[in-house]
Every structure is written in C-alpha cells, then in structure tokens.
C-alpha cells in the first residue's frame, strides 16, 4: 500500500537524498514539501528543495516555506557541513516553478484536509514547523496524521554538542512539543544513522550511473564525505542521516528498533537539546517512540543505488 507523506526538510545533502528516495519509490506518495531553517538559512533551504524537485521533474509537488527562526533561540546553521549554498558539490538547476503563497503549516493543513486517508509527516530538519502545526491545528493533527517519522536526537553521543544532535539542538522547544503531543513517533537517531555510512568506493559507483540525478549526487556526496573525513569522527564514510526515515517507510525490515519514552531537555546548560531516551524503562512514562537502533547497511546502500539507477529509465 502506498504511504502518503508530507516531507518537512532543510536541504542539506542528506535531506536531498531523502527527498529523491521518496519521490522515486512506488511505495511513497509525496503530497507536499515544507522547508525549515537548519542546515542553512531559510531562503537557501527553500531554494534547495525547489532546485531538487526541478532536477527530479516533480514540479507538481507543492512547496511552502516554514518559520524563519526557531521558537526561542536564534538560528544556528551548519555551513561547514553543507557548504555556502546548503547543497555544495553539484550544479543544480534553478527552480522553474513557484513556491506556494502560504506558510508551511497552512500547506500541511490544506494537504491533510484534501487527503482521504491518514498521512505520515516526515521531518528531516528541526521540528519548528511540526510543533507550530500541532499547536495551531491539534484536532486536525490527531484526525489526519498517522505518525511522525523524524531524523534527530541521540542516545549518548551527539554531533553538535557532546550529547546533542544538530536537528534537535536547533529547536529543542519545538522537539519537546512534538514528543509530548501524543502521536505515534518513529525516531532515527545518530545511533542508527552513524551506521548508515556510504563509503568512498560506493560514491564512485554512483558516479558511474549515467543520468543527471545520479551525476548530481556523485558531486553532492563527494562534498558531504569530505567533512566526515575528519579523524575525530572515526568514520569510514559519510553517514546518511535523513535517508533513514524514508528507508524505514520503504522497508522497515532493514532496521532493528526498540520502543521507549523519549523526551527533550530544554533547560540544561550542558544538555539543552539532548533527547532523553528511557531505554531501560526507569520511569513510568509511556513508550511514545519507536527508536531505530540498527540497520542492514548493505541493504540500505542497495536501496540508494536502485533509487539512483531508476532515473536512467525515466
């Protein structure tokens, strides 16, 4: 059965790949794309989503821009990871369609009302738009959102602060709203995404695929991989964080998961933005989140290769 999704993203190299996988999969129907500030400034992430959809010839998918800033703190971006444009490494086409003249939360609401079945909200950036939507349209969310699948958080080691992952760090107040709203949650934390690495030789294989989409990702992933060559990470390749959300929707059998309560620390001087995961059920809080903890990396990479190969037949 085809899963209807709304993708809320902040492209970003790995967001771009997640979007591509979603668009290419016969198991997923992308109803709308909304953008948030995060990996880069809000205008750049919006432009990147539109450039990607132009590359993918999916200008029919409506796109709306979300909030310009996080709910509380000033915006912090990640140009050292994603470059000045947010998608450095490839010469992408300029958008040839227009953004929707409504805010992201209004496009989400409009899309849900039009859908005759429940929709999965996939969030691959900070949770600002998701939190605002849940606050403004709580009844519509409960009626029409099937689940929220998101990339973010970590059990233990962070990638932006010692115990804090970037997406949650940018807007922890928003993440806390989402975690405590009561909808089913699926979380792809660093614990699984750091196992979802693509190696240099696999990026070279992508470069051998003869279509414009694969060629774009050859450049994008080469750029993305360079940041992760820093020995401090201990990586052999580049972790593909956001595609784990779409891979889960396409084939959940490639993941090992566990249910637990997840909440977000918003006060701590050292831990603001930390996802507090009750792995051992030490509290009486409900197990509100299915957390992805393990991945069949070979199966995951094959899915990516098949996705990029599929554009040779289009």
* Cis preceding-peptide flag for 208 (omega within 30 of 0): no
The span from the CA of 118 to the CA of 115, in Å, is: 7
Terminal CA-to-CA distance of the chain, rounded, Å? 23
Beta bridge partners of 294: 256
**57 catalytic per annotation:** no
Q: Locate 41 and state its tokens.
A: 């400034």
Sheet (strand 119-123) strand order: 63-65, 28-35, 3-9, 119-123, 145-151, 185-188, 289-295, 255-264, 275-278
Cross-strand bridge partners of residue 275: 264
**Alpha carbon distance 229, 269 (integer Å):** 30
177, 182, 186, 189: CA torsion to nearest 10: 30
The secondary structure element, H or E, covering residue 46 is helix 42-55
User: Which sequence positions are flagged as catalytic?
Assistant: 241
């Amino acid at each position: 059965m085809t899963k209807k999704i709304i993708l809320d993203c902040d492209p970003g190299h790995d967001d771009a790949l997640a979007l591509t996988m979603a668009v290419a999969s016969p198991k997923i129907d992308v109803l709308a794309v909304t953008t948030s500030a995060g990996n880069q400034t809000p205008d750049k992430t919006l432009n990147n989503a539109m450039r990607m959809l132009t590359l993918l010839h999916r200008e029919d998918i409506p796109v709306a821009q979300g909030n310009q800033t996080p709910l509380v703190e000033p915006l912090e971006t990640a140009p050292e990871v994603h470059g000045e444009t947010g998608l450095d490494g490839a010469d992408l086409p300029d958008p040839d369609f227009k953004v929707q003249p409504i805010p992201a939360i209004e496009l989400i609401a409009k899309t849900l009302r039009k859908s005759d079945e429940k929709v999965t909200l996939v969030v691959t950036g900070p949770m600002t738009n998701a939190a605002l939507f849940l606050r403004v349209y709580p009844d519509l969310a409960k009626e029409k959102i099937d689940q929220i699948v998101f990339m973010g958080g970590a059990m233990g080691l962070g990638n932006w602060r010692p115990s804090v992952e970037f997406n949650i760090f940018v807007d922890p107040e928003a993440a806390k709203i989402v975690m405590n709203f009561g909808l089913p949650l699926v979380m792809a934390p660093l614990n699984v995404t750091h196992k979802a690495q693509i190696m240099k030789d696999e990026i070279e294989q992508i470069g051998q695929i003869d279509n414009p989409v694969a060629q774009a990702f050859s450049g994008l992933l080469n750029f993305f991989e360079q940041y992760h060559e820093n020995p401090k990470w201990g990586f052999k390749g580049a972790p593909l964080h956001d595609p784990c959300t779409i891979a889960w929707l396409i084939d959940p059998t490639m993941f090992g998961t566990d249910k637990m309560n997840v909440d977000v620390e918003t006060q701590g001087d050292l831990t603001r933005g930390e996802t507090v995961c009750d792995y051992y059920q030490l509290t009486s809080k409900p197990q509100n989140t299915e957390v992805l903890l393990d991945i069949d990396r070979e199966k995951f990479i094959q899915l990516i290769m098949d996705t990029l190969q599929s554009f040779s037949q289009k």
